[in-house]
A and B are shown apart, each in its own frame.
Chain A
Amino acid sequence: MSRTDPALKDLPAGSRPGSTKVVGKNVTKVDAFKLAKGQPVFTDDYTRPGMLYAKVLRSPHAHARILDVDVSQALALDGVVDVIWHKDVKPIAHTRAGQSYPEPSPYDTYILPDKARFIGDRVAVVAAETLAAAEAALERIQVQYEVLPALTDPRDALTRTDVLIHEKADSRGISEAGKTNVAARIDKQVGDVDAALERCDLVVKREYHLPRVQASHIEPHVSMAWLDEDDRLMVRTSTQVPFHLRRMLARILEMPEARIRVIKPRVGGGFGDKQELVVEDLVSVLAMRTGRPVRLEFTREEELVAARLRHPQTITMTTGVMKDGTMLANRMHVLADTGAYGSHALTVQGNTGQKVLPMYPLPNIHFVVECVYTNNPISGAFRGYGAPQGCFALECHMDEVARELGMDRLELRKKNHIRLGDTDPLSAKLGEGKEGLVRIVRSTGLDEAIRLGCEAIGWGDKPAATRPERRRGLGMALAMQGSGIAGVDWGAATVKLNDDGSVNLTAGATDIGQGSDTILAQLCAEELGLKTEQVLVLSSDTDLTPFDVGAYASSTTYISGGAVVKASVQLREQLAEVLSQHWDCPAEEIVFAEGQAVSPQGQVMTMQDVALHCLYKAMVQPMATASHMSNESPPPFAAQFADVEVDTETGQVFLNRFVSAVDCGTVIHPRMAEGQIEGAVAQGMGYALFEEVLLDGEGRVLNPNFLDYKIATALDMPEMHTILVETDEPSGPFGAKAAGEVPIDGPAPAIVNAISDALDGVRVYRIPATAERVWQAMKDAREDS
Chain B
Amino acid sequence: MILSCEINGRAVQLNIAPGETLLHALREARYLSVKRGCESGDCGSCTVLLDDQPVNCCVVAAARCAGRRVTTLEGLLDDPLMKRLQRDMVDAAAVQCGYCSPGMLISLYALLRDNPDAGDHDIRHALTGNLCRCTGYVKPVQAALGDIKDREVQS
- What residues make up the interface of A, taking CB atoms closer than 8 Å to B? 21-22, 25-29, 31-33, 35-42, 44-45, 132, 215-220, 266-269, 271, 297, 299-300, 512-515, 525, 531-533, 669, 671-672, 674-675, 678-683, 705-707, 711-715, 717, 720, 722
Contact = CB atoms under 8 A, between A and B. Distances in A.
Given A36-B86, A712-B136, A715-B128, A706 B43 contact: yes
B25 to A, nearest CB: 13
B36 A683 contact: no
A38 B90 contact: no
Nearest to A713: B128
A36 B89 contact: yes
A117 to B, nearest CB: 27
Given A44-B36, A218-B43, A715-B125, A513 B92 contact: no
B1 to A, nearest CB: 15
B95 A38 contact: no
B46 to A, nearest CB: 11
Contacts of B136: 675, 678-682, 712, 717, 720
A678 B93 CA distance: 12
A218 B133 contact: yes
B89 to A, nearest CB: 5
Contact of A672 (B93, B100, B140): B93
B33 A26 contact: no
Contacts of A271: 133
Given A679-B134, A713-B127, A35 B43 contact: no
B153 A28 contact: yes
Most buried by B among A22, A37, A674, A713: A37
A143 to B, nearest CB: 26
Nearest to A33: B90
B24 to A, nearest CB: 8
Interface of B: 17, 30, 32-40, 42-43, 45, 72-74, 77, 86, 89-102, 105, 123-125, 127-141, 150, 153-155
Given A219-B37, A720-B136, 6 more contacts: A38-B73, A220-B36, A266-B97, A267-B97, A714-B141, A715-B128
B130 to A, nearest CB: 8
Contacts of B36: 44, 220, 297
A467 B33 CA distance: 44
Task: Give the interface SS of chain B, mostly helix, strand, loop or mixed.
Answer: loop
A28 B86 CA distance: 12
Contacts of A215: 133
A675 B96 contact: yes
A705 B40 contact: yes
Contacts of B30: 40
The listed residue with most B CB atoms (<10 A of its CB), out of A29, A32, A299, A722, is: A32
Nearest to B37: A218
Contacts of B35: 42, 218-219, 268
Given A218-B100, A512-B97, A705 B150 contact: no
B42 to A, nearest CB: 4
Contacts, number: 196
Most chain B CB within 10 A, of A267, A268, A512, is at A268
B99 A33 contact: no
A216 B37 CA distance: 10
A32 B90 contact: yes
> Which of B38, B74, B138 has the largest number of chain A CB atoms within 10 A?
B138
22 contacts: A22-B155, A29-B90, A32-B89, A32-B98, A36-B86, A37-B77, A38-B72, A218-B132, A218-B133, A269-B97, A269-B133, A531-B155, A675-B96, A678-B138, A679-B134, A705-B38, A706-B38, A713-B137, A714-B124, A714-B141, A715-B125, A722-B138
Contact of A679 (B92, B124, B133, B154): B133
A715 B124 contact: yes
A671 B92 contact: yes
Contact of B97 (A218, A672, A715): A218
B154 A705 contact: no
B138 A268 contact: no
The 7 A-B pairs at the shortest CB distance, nearest first, are namely A38-B33, A513-B97, A35-B98, A268-B99, A678-B136, A706-B42, A682-B136
A531 B154 CA distance: 9
Nearest to A267: B97
B40 A300 contact: yes
Given A675-B139, A706-B38, A715-B128, A513 B96 contact: yes
A26 B136 CA distance: 19
B139 A678 contact: yes
* Max chain A C-beta neighbours (<10 A), residue from B100, B123, B133: B133
Nearest to B140: A714
B124 A683 contact: no
Nearest to A297: B36
Contacts of A513: 96-99, 134
A717 B123 CA distance: 13
Nearest to B38: A300
Contacts of B150: 26
Contacts of A669: 93
Contacts of B101: 35-36, 38
Nearest to A525: B155
A31 B97 CA distance: 9
Given A28-B153, A36-B86, A132-B17, A219 B92 contact: no
Nearest to B150: A26
Given A22-B155, A683-B133, A706-B43, A714 B98 contact: no
Contact of A36 (B42, B90, B138): B90
Nearest to A45: B32
B45 A22 contact: no
B74 A707 contact: no
Contacts of A37: 33, 73, 77, 86
B137 A682 contact: yes
Contact of A216 (B33, B133, B139): B133
Given A218-B43, A218-B97, A300-B40, A40 B133 contact: no
